[in-house]
Amino acid sequence: MEFGIWNLEFGIWNLEFGIYFLRKKIMALEGKHAFGSIGDTRVTFVEKKIGEDRKDFLKKLLEHNGFEVLIQEEKRKTEEEPQLYTVAVTDMVFNPTIYIFERKLKTFDGRKMTQDYWFQRTDDTNPRYWNNGSEEN
């Protein structure tokens, strides 16, 4: 019986958390592995329908981490609409969520990247999510 109550409480919390994200329009990492093609090249999609500043940041960051990056311009309905882009990498194993939370990506100055750094919320790479007492950054 307790498990059923816990499960219900968790479901309500999960729903409230999802509503919070929708209201705040906070970017979130998607856990699924999105892949497809750009031209004749098979790619893993990193982010779709993003602006030029974000595209430039991700392109530089991913190239700094050793990935081959492909950019595709999204089709616009009118010339007045801002140009949006899709950023992808040719590494079919790459998944931003896994690489960020396993701290596999590095900042431009060699520090381990956090989710907030990925989304350009801060240049600070703290907190160290799984520090386990280590002083290594």
User: In the sheet that 69-73 helps form, which strands lie side by side, from edge to edge?
Assistant: 35-38, 41-50, 85-89, 69-73
In which domain, by residue range, is 56 found? 31-130
pLDDT above 60 for 8: no
Tell me how many domains the chain contains: 2
* Residue 135 maps to a domain: no
Token code pair at residue 42: 């098979």
Mean pLDDT of the chain: 80
- Asked if the structure places residue 61 within a domain, the reply is yes
57 found inside a domain: yes
Q: What is the DSSP string of 20-46?
A: HHHHHT------S--EEEETTEEEEEE
Mean pLDDT across 40-45: 94
Helix (H) or strand (E) holding 49: strand 41-50
Identity of the highest mean pLDDT range in 7-21, 23-37, 85-99: 85-99
Say what the pLDDT of residue 35 is: 85
For residues 24 and 91, state if they share a domain. no
pLDDT at 22: 43
Same domain, 19 and 39: no
Are 20 and 42 found together in one domain?
no
- For the cut 60, the answer to whether the pLDDT of residue 4 exceeds it is no
Query: Are residue 92 and residue 103 in the same domain, yes or no?
Result: yes
**Same structural domain for residues 90 and 48?**
yes
